[in-house]
Structure 1
Amino acid sequence: MRPINQNQLSSYALATIAALLLSACAGNPTGSDTSGIDAEPVAEGEIPQRVATPNPYLAEAASVPGAAQQALANARGYFEQQQFGAAETELQQVVTQWPQLSGAWLNLAKVQLKLEQPEQAEASLRQAVTANPKNVFAWNSLGVLLRDLGRFDEAQQAYENALQQWPDFAMGHRNLGILFDLYLHQPERALHHYREARALEAEADRVLAGWIMDLERRL
C-alpha cells in the first residue's frame, strides 16, 4: 500500500507545544497560481509548481491558556517516552477543560491510535473538526482512519471537506488521489489529485511522480 503521511497540529501555538508529538505526521503544502506573471515554458508531461494560498486554519492562531500549554507539554513528554496512557490522560484533561482547542483533540486522536483505540480516535477527530471546521489536518487524519477501516465513501467525504476548507492542501490531494487510485478504482480522478498534489508540494517527490507516470501510461 502506498505510504500515507499524516499531519501536524492546528494553530501555531498548539503546533509549537506539541511539535514532537506530531513530528512524524507533518505535511508540507505550498501552492496556487501567481496571476499576472508569465510562467516559464513547461516541458511536456511536467507539472508546473504553484504557490499556495495561506492555510486558513493556521492563519487563525488560537489562544492557548498557560495551563493547557503545560498539559500539552506534559503529554508530549509522555508521548516521547511511549507512555501513551499517561499522554492520553493529560490530553483528556485538556479537552475536558478547553473543548474549543481543536488541535488538542487531534493530538488525543493520535495518542488513541497508538493505544489501538480507533473508535475513540474517530470520536476525537470528529470533535476536532466540530471545534474548528477549518482544521484541515484533522479532516485529513479522519480520512486516513476511515479509509483504513474500509469506510471509503466517508473517507472521501473527509478529504473533500479538507479541500473545501483549503483547496491548496497538498496532502489532502495526495491522500484523495490514493483513495481513488487504490480503493475506489477511479484512475482519472486519482490522476487529477496526484497532479494537484505534485504542483503544490514544495520539493520534488519521486514517488508521487512515479504514480503520475504510471497512471498516465495506463490511461
Structure 2
Amino acid sequence: VLDLFLLLSGCAGNTWPSVERLKDGRQGFVIREKAGMDAASLAEFQRAVALLNDGKDGEAIELMKRVIDRSPRFSAPHIDIALAYLRIGAPEPAEQHMKAALSLVPGHPVAGNEYGLLLRKTGRFNEAREVYEKAVDRFPDYLPARKNLGILCDLYLNDPKCALEQFERYSRLMPEDEKVKIWIAELRIRLGR
C-alpha cells in the first residue's frame, strides 16, 4: 500500500505545492504545501483529525471550519472536512471542499479519488473520469484512484480498453490483488485478447 504524506512547510524559494518521492525505501510521495498555518491552527487541525478517527464527525467539522477560516490555502483540512461531510450524509458541502482542495493542489490524489467516487455515486460519470485521470496523470502510482478509474471505465462507461489499461497498471504495482487479476482476465476475454 502506498503511503501519502501531506506536510506543512515554510521553506522559501520553492514552488508550491511541490511533490517528491520518498527516500527511505517506502513507496509513496510527499506533497509539500506552503500553508502558513500557525501553531494553534496546527494543534486544532491535529485535534480535528483525532476526532475524525474517533468517528466524531460533527465535532471535527466544527474544528476544521475554524482551521480553514484561518488557513484556507492548505488542502488537507478541505479533504478531511469533505470526508466528514460525506460520512454524515452531506454531499454538497463535501463536494465544495473537494473542489477547494483540487484548486489548491490540482490532481491531488486523495481529493481526486474521493471526488471521483462522489461524482460516480451521483451519476456524473464523465466528470468522474476527468477527475480520476487528472489524479493518475499527476500521481501515477496512487493506486486507489487508478483502480477506481478502471472500475468506472468498466462498469459505468462501457470502456473496456480504458479499464484494462488501468487494471494492468494497477496490478503491476499491486500484484497480490487477486480480484483485479480476475477482472483483467475477464476484460482480455471480452476484448478478444
**What is the TM-score when the length of structure 1 is the normalising length?**
0.71
Report what 1:22 is aligned to.
none
Matched, 1:177 2:172: no
Aligned length: 175
1:1-219 equivalence runs, <5 A: 11-12=6-7, 55=29, 58-60=30-32, 62=34, 64-201=37-174, 204-219=176-191
2: CA distance between counterparts of 1:119 and 1:187? 31
The question of whether the paired residues in 1 share the 8 Å contact of 2:119 and 2:125 is answered with yes
Q: Shift of the alpha carbon at 1:105?
A: 0.4
- Structure 1: where are the runs of 5+ without partners? 1-6, 15-29, 31-50
Identity of aligned residues (%): 29
- Give unmatched runs, 5+ long, in structure 2: 10-20
Query: Counterparts of 1:8 and 1:168 in 2: how far apart (Å)?
Result: 10
Deviation at 1:82, TM superposition (A): 2.5
Report the alpha carbon displacement of residue 85 of structure 1 after superposing the two structures with TM.
1.0
**Cα drift, residue 178 of structure 1:** 0.4
- Hey, what's the Cα distance between the residues in 2 that align with 1:94 and 1:174? 32
Instruction: Report how far residue 182 of structure 1 moved.
Output: 0.5
Higher strand share: 2
- Do the aligned partners of residues 11 and 197 (structure 1) sit closer, same or farther apart at CA in structure 2, a change above 3 Å counting? same
Shift of 1:194: 0.4
Query: Using CA pairs below 8 Å that are at least 6 residues apart, which structure has the higher relative contact order?
Result: 1
CA offsets 1:99-146 (integer angstroms, 9 cap, x no match): 111011000100000111001100000000112225221111111110
Please provide the CA RMSD for this pair.
2.7
